[in-house]
Amino acid sequence: MLMILLGVLAAVIGGGGLIERHTPLDRPNDQYEMPQTLLGGGSYVQSFKSEPFSELKYRHIVRQAFDFSCGSAALVTILNYHLGVMVNEQQAMEGMLEKGEKEKIIERRGFSLLDMKRYVGSLGMSGAGFRAEIKDLMALNEPAIVPIDYAGFKHFVVLRGIRDGVVFLADPSAGNMVFSVEEFARWWDKNTLFIISPAAGQQPVAKMALTDHELGVTDMDRVTNKGRLDGPMSNSAQQLLRAVNSGAAGTWMHRN
């Protein structure tokens, strides 16, 4: 019996040298630390910031309140997050009803680009519709509202830009999305786009501009394949990459 007790005691003492207890520290809800010792690496601690995928999905997008209000939500998305004009969807809908063709709006249960043009004009800005080709969209340096026709369903989305053959869209009903140029070209309705220009002296806030850290709007295969460094990676780096890319609990992680 004595030998058994000594064995248990030795195991406890020995285990204490392998497992390090970390005292929890007060931190913002969206931040935490990942000790590298837990991933088989060195003794340093890497800080991470996490954000729910649901928030990343709709970052800088006004979600449409009704099934027929994609046009007003797309319009307000550009007004709020590109031009810095803070109006809500209800105000935009009321404004377009007032300035637009009310009977036709009610009949088709939706807003047209002409309704948008008249409304932004009442705010001191100018809006214009254009016919364009994909090559014209690639040269855009500002977001634009584009109509799409998917399986017979008419819908307005915001085109944020095109990069490396990938079209970045802000969809009022589905959030930030990406498609290949070929896919988008099939759905783009009548090659039409609508651009809103700021009022004289107004500087856009440009929160919808594409950045070099576009995570949360592309699939993990795309991020992983293009995000790896050339050359062999250490075992600890591979384990860290695997842990980050696992998307545990539906979150993405961003380094501070």
Average pLDDT over residues 225-232: 44
What local confidence, expressed as pLDDT, does residue 71 receive? 93
Annotation says 70 is catalytic: yes
Alpha-carbon span 69 to 64, nearest angstrom: 6
Kindly tell me if the per-residue pLDDT of 144 is higher than 50: yes
More confident residue, 54 or 91: 91
Q: When comparing pLDDT for 223 and 74, which is higher? A: 74
Residue 96 binned pLDDT confidence (cut-offs 50, 70, 90): very high
**pLDDT tens digits for 45-88?**
556 666 677 777 899 999 999 988 999 999 999 999 999 999 99
**Cα separation of 156 and 172, whole Å?**
8
Beta-strand pair 175-180/31-35: unpaired
Name the average pLDDT for the chain. Answer: 77
What secondary structure, in 3-state letters, does the chain show? Answer: CHHHHHHHHHHHHHHHCCCCCCCCCCCCCCEEEEEHHHHCCCCCEEEEEEEEHHHHHCCCCCCCCCCCCHHHHHHHHHHHHHHCCCCCHHHHHHHHHHHCCHHHHHHHCCCCHHHHHHHHHHCCCEEEEEECCHHHHHCCCCCEEEEEEECCEEEEEEEEEEECCEEEEEECCCEEEEEEHHHHHHHECCCEEEEEECCCCCCCCCCCCCCCCCCCCCCHHHHHHHHCCCCCCCHHHHHHHHHHHCCHHHEEEEEC
- Give the lowest-confidence range in 99-108, 164-173, 174-183: 99-108
- pLDDT at position 37, please? 60
Say yes or no to pLDDT of 28 above 80.
Answer: no
Catalytic residue among 70, 113, 166, 253: 70
Residue 254 confidence (pLDDT) above 80: no
pTM, whole model, 2 decimals? 0.68
**How far is residue 235 from each of residues 42, 51, 81, 92, 242, measured CA to CA in Å?**
11, 26, 42, 54, 11
Mean pLDDT of 11-39: 56
The answer to whether residue 228 scores a pLDDT higher than 70 is no
Of all residues in the chain, the percent with pLDDT exceeding 90 is 46
> Is domain 53-195 in CATH 3.90.70.10, yes or no?
yes
Closest CA to 77 of 146, 5, 179: 146
Q: 71 near 112, Cβ under 8 Å?
A: yes
Average pLDDT rounded to a whole number, residues 210-220: 57
pLDDT at position 67 is 86
Q: Is the dihedral of CA 152, 158, 160, 161 positive or negative?
A: positive
pLDDT of res. 105: 84
